[in-house]
A and B are shown apart, each in its own frame.
Chain A
């Protein structure tokens, strides 16, 4: 495919196939990390934003984007990192939230409290720690099935 014929819509669709390196059930588009795609002058510019300022997955995400686009014949990929406006969990797509729950991670909520246990769906849950296996998650426990689970922090 010649770069001139690539449209931004196509690139968005391709990027929807790029999984988040740490939570592979959702794509970087569902996560809201991809902010903008511009196709011009035979090159594609993708603007990304970090979830957390120290998120170690950013370097991998940047590599994965390049690989995904080069695989489709895009010759020149430029990546721009932008921190403003800062990433918020409001940018997680509904599809992304549903997939998180299926995967066993309670999706973020404005109240700061998970709606229910992602395993048994009981609504009585207790915070274990504000920090979890990655910066974006906290540890909670279901008071009903007693299973611990990750909660995607609201940011």
Chain B
């Protein structure tokens, strides 16, 4: 039986690691975006996510109570200690796939952070209210872009259909409740993720249909990211790049 503090720590890591891993993956687009405007948009989205990471992981470190900082948690943990969704750690693939991933995640973040604004934990409520403002315009852009590309040329449509087919098996993990979710829900900190599944499906179906894309039928969900039990082989490679400076020069600052 985990303590309330342990459950809160795990919950905060999930929040922070989602933002960190997607933020880092998105930052990998910087300088290689398909057009200048998209390059800037991707870099700005990454920046928002890294900002949110600092808020979540700083609070996680405080709850952990071992005198660590947000930076320690970001740069000195190994893959098996990360609690992000698998969807966010797989490599970017092409631009269409990165936008589809963002869209599926934003469709979750918006209703999720909306609920968290009324959390019984004031710090969770405050961080969520701040992050929601950013998630809302991320969603505006990612959903519009999925529609434009899906309902675009034959070539862009094919890329987007392949993107949704690729991302779909990873998306279901968002809604797989476990013991941490139960404990957090009982404490009034957050609803069960499964409770917003229908809202997410409605939003995603509406975007995919406007984008003339076919929603995959399977409900099969790859899991193992948010509980850290089985990450993909990609996370370790990503962390090797992301963490190399702090691993090689511990405590280095700007």
Contact = CB atoms under 8 A, between A and B. Distances in A.
Interface of A: 50, 52-56, 83-86, 128-135, 139, 153, 155
A153 to B, nearest CB: 7
A4 B133 CA distance: 40
Contact of A54 (B38, B47, B126): B47
28 contacts: A50-B51, A52-B47, A52-B48, A52-B51, A53-B52, A53-B55, A53-B131, A53-B134, A54-B48, A54-B51, A54-B54, A83-B55, A84-B125, A84-B126, A86-B129, A86-B130, A129-B38, A129-B40, A130-B140, A131-B37, A131-B41, A131-B44, A131-B45, A132-B40, A134-B44, A135-B44, A139-B40, A153-B137
Nearest to B50: A54
Interface residues of B, number: 26
The majority secondary structure among interface residues of chain B is: helix
B130 A53 contact: yes
A85 B130 CA distance: 8
B120 to A, nearest CB: 15
Interface in B117-163: 122, 125-127, 129-131, 133-134, 137, 140-141
Given A50-B51, A54-B51, A153-B137, A133 B129 contact: no
Interface centre among A50, A85, A129 (most CB of B within 10 A): A129
A50 B131 CA distance: 12
A134 B43 CA distance: 10
Nearest to A49: B130
Nearest to A85: B129
Contacts of B125: 84
B49 interface: yes
A131 B147 CA distance: 18
Contact of B141 (A55, A130, A132, A135): A130
A52 B134 CA distance: 8
The 9 closest A-B pairs by CB, nearest first: A54-B51, A53-B51, A84-B126, A129-B37, A131-B41, A54-B47, A131-B44, A86-B130, A83-B130
A50 B48 CA distance: 11
